[in-house]
């Protein structure tokens, strides 16, 4: 067979050579040992936690080593593409702080190793397809869907491995006349790789996450180009990662089964093999057993979920870091204020079997992250979230930034900051009572007469002086407690509760309920200071009227 003639026949329009491309995309000028890596998602419109795990791993590896991170859009599967998906992808990754040094952007491409969208790279793939054909390493296959399924059925019936290999690879050695006849008839064809591997042979391979692997050679003549001339993932991976000078491929371990083929392909093309970082799937506990997070069953797989719940980006980031490198938590404890990018990240610490996602832990991390923010930042992020997901609350926050910031400053700073908020969604419940429209009617315990509570509130109003400091304010609450025959001695009360009609805690609760509508709130004195004298008095007065009804 004259392979050169076959190459000319199949790819008459290819004018560039591999040498031209080598020149066009020179080796990168990066420091020795720098990691050049990429995110190569398919634009399906669904951006998930796995993308972020992969994204942060790549981002850390690249930037920690003084290397490069780029974004390549793998849009070869036009059938799966959703309109606007590329924008969603770029925006979501940006939202989570993944900064690309080059690649696809909202306004086209940035960088000299592009195009970075695979559908725009057809010419480039064809240069290498032609080369492989001319060297007898690839050939056209004209099998129809029906022929391929019949083959599969037969293989299944014979209990043989399925796929296009060995005697089933019926177009592997067909004469030129057969090929010519099919082309003349205008029949569609795919380009297949001519595998020289055997499943009898094994070799050792080192993966940065999985460790030492024993791999069986590939014997299947996989498809390189589909009938529309667009490459499969495998072929595009080899060509793109070579020409874009990727040093490390960070990807999900669902690609492990085709790794033997990828290794073969790099060899056949004469490309240096990159290093591989195969990340295990995200798992979760379902009852007592572990399973993979699933798109269908687990809303928390989608990144939109975290935004809508109101997890700050930093919290998701920190949580993922704890998932990837278990020593991150200790590091954070020792360096509470450090920039997380100064943490020495290592891909080798990833769990080869996949990380266990734990929502409760994320909530915990998020509480800590928010507790470390200053009030101004909390206000800014909360308001941004509320404007999108709770516009009514957003408008309230927006109307008086100073008021909201004072509320959010309660218990912030110091060694033991309050941890009321895990997500922005929690904020309305926590602080809504400051706003008249969200104030709930107080629900007093049936144990005390309405008249007694009203009496306490009247006494409180009579002695209330907005200018009092916290100690004077509390001394007055205690005085009222004693006037009505309740006790301020909590120890004595605990020892013999029946000896007292009530305590200073009950008196405080009456006032707290009147002012906040809740039995739980941040420090009541501070709450009143923020609400101001008039609103505090008004609320207590309203409650007294309510008690009289």
- Chain positions contacting ligand GLU, by CB under 6 A: 40-42, 74, 237, 249, 251-252
Q: Residue 202 corresponds to which tokens in the numbers above? A: 């094994």
Nearest CB to ligand GLU, comparing residues 74 and 219: 74
DSSP state of 199: T
Give me the least distance between CB of 535 and ligand GLU, in Å please: 55
Nearest CB to ligand GLU, comparing residues 74 and 314: 74
Residues facing residue 251 across a β-bridge: 278
| Cis bond before residue 115 (omega within 30° of 0) | yes
C-alpha 87/C-alpha 93 separation (Å) is 10
Residues facing residue 203 across a β-bridge: 215
Q: Residue 289 corresponds to which tokens in the numbers above? A: 């057993």
Give me the least distance between CB of 58 and ligand GLU, in Å please: 9
Backbone angles phi, psi at 507, to 5 degrees: -60, -45
C-alpha 29/C-alpha 112 separation (Å) is 12
Contact of 519 with 531, CB cutoff 8 Å: no
Backbone angles phi, psi at 3, to 5 degrees: -65, -35
Give me the least distance between CB of 252 and ligand GLU, in Å please: 6
Other beta carbons within 10 Å of 327? 14
Other beta carbons within 10 Å of 229? 14
Nearest CB to ligand GLU, comparing residues 292 and 535: 292
Q: Could you tell me which of 251, 164, 179 has the C-alpha nearest to residue 7? A: 179
Give me the least distance between CB of 250 and ligand GLU, in Å please: 7
Nearest CB to ligand GLU, comparing residues 74 and 298: 74
Give me the least distance between CB of 107 and ligand GLU, in Å please: 22
| Cis bond before residue 273 (omega within 30° of 0) | no
CA 192 remoteness from chain centre: 36
Give me the least distance between CB of 63 and ligand GLU, in Å please: 18
Nearest CB to ligand GLU, comparing residues 42 and 538: 42
Q: Residue 530 corresponds to which tokens in the numbers above? A: 């923020």
Give me the least distance between CB of 119 and ligand GLU, in Å please: 13
Q: Residue 123 corresponds to which tokens in the numbers above? A: 């010419």
Other beta carbons within 10 Å of 130? 24
Q: Where are the alpha helices (DSSP H) in 390-489?
A: 391-399, 401-408, 427-431, 450-463, 470-483
Residues facing residue 289 across a β-bridge: 286
Nearest CB to ligand GLU, comparing residues 40 and 191: 40
Backbone angles phi, psi at 260, to 5 degrees: -55, -40
Give me the least distance between CB of 249 and ligand GLU, in Å please: 6
Nearest CB to ligand GLU, comparing residues 80 and 441: 80
Give me the least distance between CB of 251 and ligand GLU, in Å please: 4
Three-state DSSP at 323 gives helix
Nearest CB to ligand GLU, comparing residues 117 and 130: 117
Nearest CB to ligand GLU, comparing residues 278 and 332: 278
Give me the least distance between CB of 278 and ligand GLU, in Å please: 10
Nearest CB to ligand GLU, comparing residues 60 and 237: 237
Q: Residue 131 corresponds to which tokens in the numbers above? A: 């080369």
Nearest CB to ligand GLU, comparing residues 244 and 527: 244
Other beta carbons within 10 Å of 388? 13
Nearest CB to ligand GLU, comparing residues 110 and 258: 258
Give me the least distance between CB of 77 and ligand GLU, in Å please: 9
Give me the least distance between CB of 396 and ligand GLU, in Å please: 42
Other beta carbons within 10 Å of 313? 14
Exposure of 455 in the CB half-sphere (CA atoms within 13 A):
10
Contact of 220 with 247, CB cutoff 8 Å: no
């Amino acid at each position: 067979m004259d392979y050169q003639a076959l190459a000319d026949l199949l790819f008459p329009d290819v004018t560039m050579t591999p040498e031209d491309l080598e020149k066009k995309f020179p080796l990168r000028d990066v420091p020795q040992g720098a990691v050049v890596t990429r995110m190569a998602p398919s634009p399906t419109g669904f951006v998930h936690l796995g993308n972020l795990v992969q994204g942060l791993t790549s981002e850390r590896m690249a930037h920690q080593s003084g290397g490069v991170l780029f974004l390549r859009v793998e849009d070869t599967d036009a059938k799966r593409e959703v309109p606007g998906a590329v924008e969603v992808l770029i925006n979501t990754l940006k939202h989570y702080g993944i900064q690309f040094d080059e690649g696809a952007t909202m306004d086209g491409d940035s960088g000299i190793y592009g195009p970075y969208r695979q559908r725009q790279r057809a010419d480039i793939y064809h240069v290498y397809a032609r080369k492989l054909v001319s060297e007898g390493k690839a050939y056209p296959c004209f099998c129809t869907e029906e022929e391929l399924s019949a083959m599969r059925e037969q293989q299944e019936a014979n209990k043989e491995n399925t796929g296009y290999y060995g005697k089933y690879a019926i177009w592997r050695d067909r004469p030129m006349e057969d090929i010519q006849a099919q082309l003349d008839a205008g029949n569609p064809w795919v380009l297949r790789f001519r595998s020289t591997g055997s499943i009898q042979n094994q070799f050792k391979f080192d993966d940065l996450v999985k460790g030492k692997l024993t791999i069986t050679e590939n014997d299947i003549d996989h498809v390189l180009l589909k009938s529309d001339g667009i490459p499969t993932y495998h072929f595009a991976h080899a060509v793109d990662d070579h020409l874009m000078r990727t040093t490390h491929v960070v990807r999900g371990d669902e690609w492990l089964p085709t790794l033997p083929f990828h290794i073969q392909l790099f060899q056949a093309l004469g490309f240096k093999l990159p290093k591989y970082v195969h990340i295990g799937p995200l798992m979760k506990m379902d009852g007592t057993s572990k399973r993979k997070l699933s798109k269908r069953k687990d809303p928390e797989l989608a990144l939109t979920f975290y935004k809508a719940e109101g997890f700050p980006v930093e919290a998701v980031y920190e949580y993922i870091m704890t998932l990837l490198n278990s020593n991150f938590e200790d590091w954070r404890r020792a360096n509470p204020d450090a920039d997380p990018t100064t943490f020495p990240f290592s891909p080798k610490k990833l769990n080869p079997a996949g990380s266990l996602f734990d929502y409760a832990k994320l909530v915990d991390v998020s509480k800590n992250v928010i507790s470390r923010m200053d009030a101004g930042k909390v206000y800014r992020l909360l308001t941004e979230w509320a404007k999108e997901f709770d516009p009514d609350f957003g408008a309230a926050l927006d109307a008086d930034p100073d008021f909201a910031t004072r509320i959010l400053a309660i218990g912030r700073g110091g060694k033991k900051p309050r941890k009321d908020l895990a997500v922005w969604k929690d904020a309305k419940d926590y602080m809504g009572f400051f706003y008249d429209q969200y104030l709930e009617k107080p629900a007093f315990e049936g144990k005390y007469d309405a008249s007694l509570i009203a009496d306490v509130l009247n006494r409180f109003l009579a002695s209330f002086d907005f200018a009092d400091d916290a100690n004077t304010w509390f001394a007055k609450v205690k005085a009222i407690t004693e006037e009505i025959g309740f006790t301020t001695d909590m120890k004595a009360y605990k020892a013999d509760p029946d000896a007292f009609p009530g305590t200073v805690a009950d008196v405080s609760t009456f006032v707290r309920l009147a002012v906040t509508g809740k039995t739980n709130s941040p420090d009541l004195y501070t709450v009143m200071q923020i609400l101001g004298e008039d609103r505090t008095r008004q609320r207590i007065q309203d409650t007294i009227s309510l008690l009289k009804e």
